[in-house]
Structure 1
Amino acid sequence: MKKTAIIFPGQGSQYVGMGQQFVEQKKDAAALMKLAEDISGFSIRTLCFTGPIEELTRVRNLQPAVTAINLICWQQLCALLPDFRPAFFAGHSLGEYSALYGAGILSQEDTLTLVAKRGELMEREGATHPGGMRAVVGLDIDEVEAVLAAYTGPGVVVVANHNSASQIVLSGDQEGLDAVAAQCTDRGAKVIALNVSVANHSPLVAGAIEDFTAVMDKIVFREPQVPVLFNVTGDSEKDPVAIKTIMARQIASRVRWLSIVERMVAEGVEVVVELGPRTVLTGMMRRILPKQTPIICLQADTPAGLVKVAEVLAR
């Protein structure tokens, strides 16, 4: 098998209908969905299959819902390829919890428990400290950081995601975002408001860290069986205690997605497979990698799509 990285999406990938074919066709997928519903305390399948999208997109609902679909996709790929072992796991923001499960760091139950609690806490912080996120396209990280360093106006604004060389996501309150977005636009960037009501990966959600750490303290983290490339560091980590610290920091820290992809490339990864709803991360991969790259980028969130992925990986 080719050297493969498995990546999982997070917030922004959700859509009404996600996971429905798996749950209706596969008993083990239905059982995993029921587990997610029992832990989260609401009907994830109803929101995933019929919406409404506004309710699905609520942070407390979205986090266990997207994670359940990610885990089902990985479960079903393992059923198709029982001997498959990737070289790396990674996940974008929320998707990192799916990576922890895939690597053997967390159990299914503990993964779903953590994302359900994370969703509750981040929705709480979003209500207490309202904010949002905006994508800046067309400036590199040095240019965006120069704008931020020079900004002395009101509000809070930071880099939340370094997704690619020319796509950076800002997070903060309305005042800070408006002012810095205007300065980025003046420099030739295109600024796009994201459909989120929480300033993820910013100081505005840092109030969730203490309570989330207390939840993690009760959960067993194991040494990874496969390396996970972490959002906070862009690197791997073996020590379970250090991993807990990294995951606490992740709530309010920058997502270093470009660094993660660059590390995969440097390590000789030949195939990158996105497992979970939509193709957000696959689209990022195509912007990061050179046009003539030999690296194959695949995505699957349906049974038919997963069969095609398994065929490629089995060659």
Structure 2
Amino acid sequence: MTGEPDQVALCFPGQGIPAADLACGLRRLSPGRADRLLATLSAHSLDDLDLTDTRVVQPTILALSLSGARAMAPRTGDVALVLGHSFGEISALAYVGCLSEEDALRVAAIRGELCWKQSLQRDGAMVAILGLPPAEVEWLRRRVLGNLPGAQLETAAVNGPRQLVLSGDRPAVHTAAEDAIAHAAEARILPIKGAFHGPHMAGAVPDWAKFLDTVEIREARIPFVSSTEVRLCATPAEIRRALVRALVLPVRFAAALDFAASQGVRTMVDSGPGTVLSKLVRRHGGFARRLTASGR
């Protein structure tokens, strides 16, 4: 792929999408895809969905992301590679044929259920910190842990050189947010119930791995980049391993974008509802064009 002009990649968002953007996307969902989503969620109406519930949000993002990616096909042409941010890897794998859409919805539902159960075990939250370099965020994180013995607070995502996400116990997360603001940074508590990509999710790994062993995963027909391992994963064994570990490992989205650029990608398409990834790509730089399925 390297050296070819204007290669296109699709990126698929994870769970940090505002409920209003999800609701907007649902209004445009095709009847067939809406019916499949409702069947997965054992729900009767899209209007009744709780778009703050992890068990609902993950299958919903999958349905909306696949719908967005299909709608963008006439504008994108051939796709050179795909990547996903956190849960978005499930959507990416469905798009490239590693998972059937039916299986992907089932995978999303089980993942959402497992993550929801873990969030009940220990109250957690996540915060995006903008404006501080990684070393300063790490210094902040360690200070918080020093003042809150026994607390958990981990780096959950590196979205850019000055945009990191911390995940952990709710008091630790809120203390980190206050500390960041005191140091002239911006801190945003994410609209996610739970502490993802850290020890809070470790308890779900055995059941998640066991479930994935029952799911048919095919080789990717379009290169798939793991955003936790920052490499191409092509075989079912590689993909399964990456998915299992991604529950706990941090998302290295900035590095994944660099990898995509190194493969000749010059156009990055945010396939999901909202503009979360499009904004990350804009701040990251390095791409000639950015497109969004949401049209925003």
TM-score in terms of structure 2 length:
0.89
| TM-superposed deviation, 1:21 | 2.7
2:282 pairs with one of 286, 289, 299:
286
| TM-superposed deviation, 1:183 | 4.2
- Partner in structure 1 of residue 122 of structure 2: 129
- Partner in structure 2 of residue 100 of structure 1: 93
RMSD, aligned α-carbons: 2.2
Tell me, in whole angstroms, the C-alpha distance in 2 between the residues paired with 1:255 and 1:300.
22
Tell me, in whole angstroms, the C-alpha distance in 1 between the residues paired with 2:273 and 2:261.
24
Structure 2 counterpart SS, 1:21: coil
- Higher mean C-alpha deviation, range 180-189 or range 228-237: 180-189
Q: How does 1:51-130 map to 2 (within 5 A)?
A: 55-78=50-73, 80=74, 84-130=77-123
- Partner in structure 1 of residue 8 of structure 2: 4
Structure 2 counterpart SS, 1:90: strand
**Per-residue deviation, residues 236-281 of structure 1 (Å, max 9, x unmatched):** 1122112111101111210111001111222221211111211111
Structure 1 counterpart SS, 2:28: helix
| TM-superposed deviation, 1:8 | 1.2
Contact (CA 8 Å) 1:133, 1:200: kept in 2 or not? yes
1:245 aligns with 2:246: no
- Partner in structure 2 of residue 229 of structure 1: 225
Structure 2 counterpart SS, 1:89: strand
1:157 pairs with one of 153, 160, 170:
153
Percent sequence identity over aligned pairs:
29
Gaps of 5+ in 1: 24-29, 307-315
Tell me, in whole angstroms, the C-alpha distance in 1 between the residues paired with 2:44 and 2:272.
19
In structure 2, do the counterparts of structure 1 residues 179 and 76 end up closer, same or farther at CA, with 3 Å as the change threshold?
A: closer
- Partner in structure 1 of residue 162 of structure 2: 166
Contact (CA 8 Å) 1:69, 1:276: kept in 2 or not? yes
Contact (CA 8 Å) 1:9, 1:280: kept in 2 or not? yes
- Higher mean C-alpha deviation, range 69-78 or range 116-125: 69-78
Structure 2 counterpart SS, 1:207: helix
| TM-superposed deviation, 1:22 | 4.1
Structure 1 counterpart SS, 2:9: strand
| TM-superposed deviation, 1:149 | 4.4
Gaps of 5+ in 2: none
| TM-superposed deviation, 1:56 | 1.1
Tell me, in whole angstroms, the C-alpha distance in 1 between the residues paired with 2:230 and 2:277.
16
Structure 1 runs of 4+ aligned residues shifted over 4 Å read: none
| TM-superposed deviation, 1:69 | 0.8
Tell me, in whole angstroms, the C-alpha distance in 2 between the residues paired with 1:44 and 1:246.
34
1:262 pairs with one of 245, 254, 258:
258
TM-score in terms of structure 1 length:
0.84
Tell me, in whole angstroms, the C-alpha distance in 1 between the residues paired with 2:87 and 2:67.
15
Tell me, in whole angstroms, the C-alpha distance in 2 between the residues paired with 1:277 and 1:211.
29
| TM-superposed deviation, 1:179 | 3.9
- Partner in structure 2 of residue 189 of structure 1: 185
1:34 aligns with 2:35: yes
Tell me, in whole angstroms, the C-alpha distance in 2 between the residues paired with 1:159 and 1:43.
38
Number of residue pairs matched by the alignment: 286
